[in-house]
C-alpha cells in the first residue's frame, strides 16, 4: 500500500496490486475516508498510516456499492458508512439474503454454507449479532 499526501488536507492510499484507491480528507479536526483499500494487510495498516499522518476518520463514505469500496468498516468498525440510497437498498438486500442463506445452512447442518454466508454478512455489517451467533454455532463456540 502506498500513501501520498496530495494536499495538506488529503491523502490518497493506493493498493499495490490492483491500484485501487482510498482518499482521506480533512477539514479542521474532522476527517473522512472515501472508499477503502482491498487487501487484508492494507486494511490492517490503514488506521495507523492515517493516524501517523494526523487523519483520524470520523466517517466513512463509499462512492458506490462495489465490494472493493465497502471495506472501510473492517478497518474502522466503530464508524458509520455513508452510501447513496440505491447502494443502501442493494446492501440491505444482500445482507438479508446472505443472513437467510446462513440460517438455512445452519438448519440443514451445512456448516460451510452457514459460515461462508455469515462471514459475508459481517464484511458488510461488522456489528451484525445474528451473523456472529451463526459463526459461533458452526465453530462450536
pLDDT tier at 60, thresholds 50, 70, 90: very high
Average pLDDT over every residue of 111-136: 91
Residue 137 backbone class (left: φ over 0; alpha: ψ -120 to 50; beta: rest)? alpha
Q: Is the pLDDT of residue 141 over 80?
A: no
pLDDT tier at 131, thresholds 50, 70, 90: very high
**Quick one: pLDDT at residue 135?**
94
Q: Is the pLDDT of residue 132 over 90?
A: yes
pTM: 0.71
**Quick one: pLDDT at residue 7?**
96
Question: Which parts of the chain fold into alpha helices (H)?
Answer: 40-52, 72-75, 85-107, 111-124, 129-139
pLDDT digits (tens, 9 = 90+) for 22-54: 999 999 989 999 999 988 899 999 999 999 999
The answer to whether 79 touches 72, Cβ cutoff 8 Å, is yes
pLDDT tier at 82, thresholds 50, 70, 90: very high
**Quick one: pLDDT at residue 123?**
85
Amino acid at each position: 500500500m502506498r500513501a501520498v499526501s496530495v494536499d495538506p488536507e488529503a491523502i490518497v492510499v493506493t493498493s499495490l496490486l490492483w491500484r485501487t484507491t482510498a482518499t482521506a480528507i480533512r477539514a479542521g479536526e474532522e476527517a473522512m475516508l472515501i472508499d477503502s483499500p482491498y487487501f487484508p494487510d492494507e486494511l490492517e495498516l490503514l488506521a495507523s498510516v492515517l493516524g501517523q499522518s494526523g487523519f483520524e476518520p470520523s466517517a466513512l463514505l463509499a462512492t458506490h456499492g462495489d465490494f472493493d469500496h465497502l471495506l472501510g468498516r473492517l478497518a474502522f468498525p466503530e464508524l458509520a458508512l455513508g452510501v447513496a440510497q440505491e447502494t443502501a437498498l442493494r446492501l440491505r438486500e444482500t445482507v438479508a439474503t446472505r443472513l437467510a442463506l446462513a440460517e438455512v445452512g445452519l438448519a440443514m447442518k451445512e456448516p460451510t454454507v452457514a459460515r461462508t454466508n455469515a462471514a459475508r454478512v459481517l464484511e458488510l455489517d461488522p456489528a451484525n449479532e445474528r451473523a456472529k451467533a451463526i459463526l459461533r454455532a458452526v465453530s462450536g463456540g
